[in-house]
Chain A
Amino acid sequence: MGLVLHRIDDRLIHGQVVVGWGQPLGLRFIVLVDDDVAASDWEQELYRMGVPPDVEVHFLSVADAARTITALHADPRPGILLVNSVDTMRRLIAAAPSIRTVNLGGVHHADGRTQRLRYVFLTPEEEQQLRALEQAGIDITAQDVPGARPISLQDVLAGRGDG
């Protein structure tokens, strides 16, 4: 099974991930890739509090995640990898090219971002980074919850996803 989702979500661990995806997948581990969280005991404790005891959580820097990605993909249990930004996913894939799929799960409003979907707001730079990943052969779709229709990057950037 291994990592079934490589997700960009600025909330990282939250209800949609733990319950919405976690229940139907039978989720057994979460890999939270973030340099700041990996360096902060307080942040790790915060995120661990929200996870059921039977789900393992690994907190890794981008560099450490890239070093262990092969083992993570080979894990027989279902898992989800989380990053909180397009830029972190871009850096991770540059160091871990075995990642071939990206799930856009939630990037919310901030200065400089334009709304593309109900749950996806992007800066021009983020859009360019996603286009570059797609051109490199990465399959990118937006999908907040398992029951929703996956939306192609092309439709996301054209604002055609919520119709």
Chain B
Amino acid sequence: MSDDAIVVGVVAGHGDYAVGMLSAVEQITGRGSSFVAVSNRGKSPPELEAELAAQLDSTGARVIFTDLPAGSCTMAARRLQRARPDVVLVTGANLAVLMEYLFAAISPLGTPVGGLAHTAALARAAVDKARDTLSVSGG
């Protein structure tokens, strides 16, 4: 199995947030295809929830990264978690958290690391590291 075949997460958000994020991941790491992108644009809540479920099923990924904590993608993901408690949700995702998670989740040989419990732990560790990238200077 090549690296390209391994999808570690679904990135979902407003407008072109997700495809934009993946384009940045691709430019920096060459591994943009390790995530799949979902937009909420024009979708009803049930359609969005169904698309997230379909992407998880087709890729085998168990983590959803969303933009706003109150956004419709986040709400759809939380509804999905009710039926599928194994799904891990990361809200407020930025570029740093995607890359931290990507490299933590894929071993040097290009295979996913660990089981489901490990998935949540990896996501938490990635969030902790990425949070530190937010900073303000000057002024």
Residues of A in contact with B (beta carbons under 8 Å apart):
10-11, 13-15, 17-19, 42, 46-47, 49-51, 108-110, 118-119
A17 to B68, CA, bound (A): 12
CB distance from A144 to the nearest CB of B (A): 11
User: Are B45 and A10 closer than 8 Å at their CB atoms?
Assistant: yes
User: Are B42 and A49 closer than 8 Å at their CB atoms?
Assistant: no
Task: Kindly list 14 other residue pairs between chains A and B, CB separation below 8 angstroms, not including A15-B70, A109-B42, A109-B47.
Answer: A10-B45, A14-B72, A14-B75, A15-B72, A17-B70, A18-B68, A19-B70, A46-B79, A49-B69, A49-B78, A50-B69, A51-B70, A108-B44, A110-B44
User: Are A11 and B42 closer than 8 Å at their CB atoms?
Assistant: no
Residues of B in contact with A (beta carbons under 8 Å apart):
14, 42-45, 47, 67-72, 74-75, 78-79, 82
A11 to B76, CA, bound (A): 10
A14 partner residues in chain B, CB cutoff 8 A: 70-72, 75
Name the 4 nearest CB pairs between A and B, nearest first.
A50-B70, A108-B44, A15-B71, A14-B72
User: Are A108 and B43 closer than 8 Å at their CB atoms?
Assistant: yes
A108 partner residues in chain B, CB cutoff 8 A: 42-45, 47
A50 partner residues in chain B, CB cutoff 8 A: 68-71, 74-75
B42 partner residues in chain A, CB cutoff 8 A: 108-109, 118-119
> Nearest residue in A to B41 (C-beta to C-beta)?
A118
Given A49-B78, A50-B75, A13 and B70 contact (CB-CB distance below 8 Å)? yes
User: Are A15 and B47 closer than 8 Å at their CB atoms?
Assistant: no
CB distance from B14 to the nearest CB of A (A): 6
